[in-house]
């Protein structure tokens, strides 16, 4: 995966992560969150979609951590490995009902972004 593809996938991951984080913060019970379930099919990333269903189904964080740690371990492409690391953290943050703004900052902290890349992401996702 080249850098442009990585940044594009990261941007989409952040977009969906923040959306689900907002749903999670507002939901009293994940299994009854119709917004989460209906929007799970919108993501083009099957690993992310599976993770959202794991959350909705009540899978414990330790199981999600184990599954995605294994997926990361078998990934050969360094860019994809880094992406899946961010994805795992996003899912765990959603499950923990972390506030979207906090989750955004945690997710971008996993990536060595150039100043321009960070500015573009901040413009997309940071509230003024």
Confidence of residue 108 (pLDDT cuts 50, 70, 90): very high
Q: State residue 110's pLDDT score.
A: 97
In terms of Cβ atoms closer than 10 Å to its own Cβ (0-12, 13-18, 19+), residue 7 is middle
Average pLDDT rounded to a whole number, residues 114-118 = 95
Confidence of residue 23 (pLDDT cuts 50, 70, 90): confident
Residue 118 CA to residue 74 CA, distance in Å, equals 28
DSSP 27-74: -S-GGG-HHHHHHHTT-S-HHHHHHHHHHHTT--HHHHHHHHHHHHHH
Q: State residue 37's pLDDT score.
A: 63
Q: Would you say residue 91 has pLDDT above 70?
A: yes
Average pLDDT rounded to a whole number, residues 79-98 = 97
Would the pTM of this model clear 0.85, i.e. be above it? yes
The top-scoring range by mean pLDDT among 28-32, 41-45, 101-105 is: 101-105
Q: Do 111 and 86 meet the contact criterion of CB atoms below 8 Å apart?
A: yes
Q: Would you say residue 128 has pLDDT above 60?
A: no
Q: State residue 26's pLDDT score.
A: 85
């Amino acid at each position: 995966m080249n850098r442009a593809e990585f940044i594009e996938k990261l941007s989409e991951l952040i977009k969906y992560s923040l959306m689900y984080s907002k749903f999670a913060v507002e939901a009293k019970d994940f299994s009854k969150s119709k917004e989460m379930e209906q929007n799970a099919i919108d993501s083009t990333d099957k690993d992310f979609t599976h993770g959202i269903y794991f959350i909705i189904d009540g899978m414990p964080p330790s199981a999600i951590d184990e599954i995605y740690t294994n997926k990361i371990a078998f990934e050969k492409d360094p860019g994809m490995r880094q992406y899946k690391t961010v994805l795992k953290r996003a899912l765990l943050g959603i499950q923990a009902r972390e506030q979207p703004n906090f989750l955004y900052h945690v997710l971008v902290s996993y990536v060595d972004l150039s100043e321009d890349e960070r500015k573009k992401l901040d413009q997309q996702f940071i509230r003024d």
